[in-house]
Amino acid sequence: MFHAPDFTQLSAQISATTQEDVEQALASSHLSTDNLAALLSSAAEPYLQQMAQNASTITQTRFGRTTQLYAPIYLSNYCTNRCAYCGFSADNIFKRKCLTLDEAEKEAMILHDRGFQHILLVSGEAENAVDVEYMEAIARRLRDKFAAVSIEIQPMSTEDYHRLFLAGITAVAVYQETYDRDLYKTVHLSGKKSDYDYRLETPARAAESGMREVGIGALLGLADWRAEGLAIGYHLAWLRKKFWSTSFTVSFPRMRPAAGEFEPLQIVSEQNLSQLIFALRLFDQDVGLIVSTREEARYRDGMLGLGPTRYSAGSCTAPGGYSDSSHEGEQFSVGDHRSLEEVCAAIRAKGFDPVYKDWDSEFQAESL
């Protein structure tokens, strides 16, 4: 299993790097984790322009002048975890909702009719509301209507992931939230999610189950973002070695205003986020990098082609929110409120091709 390096050591490794280390990292074609540490450091800040240029060249060479698009569907906001930062936390009092299969399909078809071919099914972590049978049933209903169906739900066993893979789920995203073991304990107050190691081992279980793509990430705003970036690098490199036939993505959820009174413990600026994205792009040329509608339109437009490869668009983060605009119970409020058409127009205006379809459900047809 993957052993996350001690978080304070990661911070120390980063702060020990010098401008010479940064220059050496920028001159390397295959970056080590030491190189990544240098690019994440404050010593790298004067080199941000060069990092952006290198990241842009790599991203466009590897992924073309394209940006992939997807939209999330929130299935349920029931949650048995108490997480200090999250709008779905069991402590927050609001009207909870879990979509029926018909409601979920209705939401999906709204996105389908808008042109989406890739959807991400999201839920709070409550097995009594959203379990493997429920997910399996949804996957079977949607698999022929979309090119790709990903999930971001509670961690599951390898066996359950395999069941969902056979039902047509393509990808699993599960974020560690923070790789800082001590802080993890203090913000995950109770519930299954409070088990750091079980969560950390989840991407490997998903990859082992046959999933084509596995997404990892950290919630930015909890611990030192530089050390989170390095931890992600170590995790990614470990996963790459062990699961060479799986595609990997990294997401960069930056804390947004949410229900509850939690204030971010760390301020992560747009410049910090950009440095993190550039550093990971230079570290791993082929990893998919996802920027969601948590970020504002202006920022997302500015980052096109510089590192990110996939954007969400037209997102609503409350269950049933596409069918009923008077919804409540969002996980967080989005920063980019544009419709899919508006996002696509901005992508085209920047000289990129918005890509709706980059997968095919037929790859998994055999398992029907």
Partner 1 sequence: MLTIAGTEFSSRLFLGTGKFSSSAVMAEAIEASQCQMITVALRRVDLENPDDDIMSTLGKREYTFLPNTSGARDAKEAIRLAKLARAASGTSWLKLEVTPDPRTLLPDPVETLIATEELVKEGFIVLPYMNADPILALKLQDVGAAAVMPLGSPIGTNQGVLTEAMIEIIIEQAHVPVVVDAGIGAPSHAAYAMEMGADAVLVNTAISVAGDPVVMAAAFAKAVEAGRSAFEAGLGQSVKQASASSPESGKLSTDLGFLA
Token pair 């970036």 is at which residue?
A: 229
- Determine the Cα–Cα distance for residues 10 and 229; give it in Å rounded to an integer: 9
Which one, 338 or 350, has the nearer CB to partner 1? 350
Which one, 119 or 187, has the nearer CB to partner 1? 119
Which one, 198 or 363, has the nearer CB to partner 1? 363
Minimum distance of partner 1 from residue 14's CB (angstroms): 26
Minimum distance of partner 1 from residue 351's CB (angstroms): 5
Q: Which stretches of the chain bind partner 1, using CB under 8 A?
A: 60-66, 117, 147, 212, 240, 244-247, 286, 348, 351-353, 355, 357-360, 362-363, 365-366
Query: Which class for 102: exposed (0-12), middle (13-18), buried (19 or more C-beta within 10 A)?
Result: exposed
Instruction: Indicate the pairing of strand 288-291 with strand 171-173.
Output: unpaired
Minimum distance of partner 1 from residue 205's CB (angstroms): 19
Which one, 221 or 305, has the nearer CB to partner 1? 305
Minimum distance of partner 1 from residue 348's CB (angstroms): 7
Under 8 Å between Cβ of 63 and 309: yes
Which one, 114 or 240, has the nearer CB to partner 1? 240
Q: How many Cα atoms are found within 13 Å in the side-chain-facing hemisphere of 87?
A: 22
Residue type, 127: E
Tell me the sheet residues that pair with 355: 68
Minimum distance of partner 1 from residue 243's CB (angstroms): 10
Length of the chain: 368
Query: Which class for 282: exposed (0-12), middle (13-18), buried (19 or more C-beta within 10 A)?
Result: buried
CB contact burial 196-225 (16+ within 10 A = b; e otherwise): beebbbbbbbbbbbbbbbbbbbbbbbbbbb
Cβ atoms < 10 Å from Cβ of 366:
7
Which one, 119 or 219, has the nearer CB to partner 1? 119
Which one, 239 or 277, has the nearer CB to partner 1? 239
Minimum distance of partner 1 from residue 284's CB (angstroms): 9
Residue 241: partners with Cβ closer than 8 Å, 6 or more residues away: none
Token pair 């983060």 is at which residue?
A: 317
Residue type, 274: S
Minimum distance of partner 1 from residue 102's CB (angstroms): 26
Which one, 318 or 344, has the nearer CB to partner 1? 344
Minimum distance of partner 1 from residue 113's CB (angstroms): 13
